[in-house]
Amino acid sequence: AQKITQTQPGMFVQEKEAVTLDCTYDTSDPSYGLFWYKQPSSGEMIFLIYQGSYDQQNATEGRYSLNFQKARKSANLVISASQLGDSAMYFCAMRVEDGSGGYNKLIFGAGTRLAVHP
């Protein structure tokens, strides 16, 4: 079964330090995509970063990087130089095949709540 697992319900980090949020996934498809989204307290879902299963290099977007370990089926998000505004829920997601044979469905993990302390 296709599944996303985020084992850390909550994390905290000191401002300006780096933090890693864990994500493991399960799929038998050779081709898939992995995403991270941020949900601040205001509720909107903000796309952060994407990693394709065939991408040779780890994805990076500013202070966000994705530590992609394909053999271990993990796609951890690393936030460098944490800021107070990074306090939010973070969701890992995977694009999977849906019931119609398409490849458009995103399934989400349960999320990790990150608190950045001054």
Binding site for another protein (CB under 8 A): 33, 35, 37, 42-47, 50, 52, 91, 95, 98-100, 102, 104-111
Shortest distance (Å) from residue 16 CB to another protein: 28
Shortest distance (Å) from residue 28 CB to another protein: 19
Residue keyed to tokens 């989204």: 37
Which residues have CB under 8 Å from 23's CB, separation 6+?
A: 4, 5, 6, 34, 36, 74, 75, 76, 77, 92, 109
Residue keyed to tokens 């799929």: 27
Q: Is 4 or 13 the residue whose CB approaches another protein more closely?
A: 4
Q: Is 39 or 67 the residue whose CB approaches another protein more closely?
A: 39
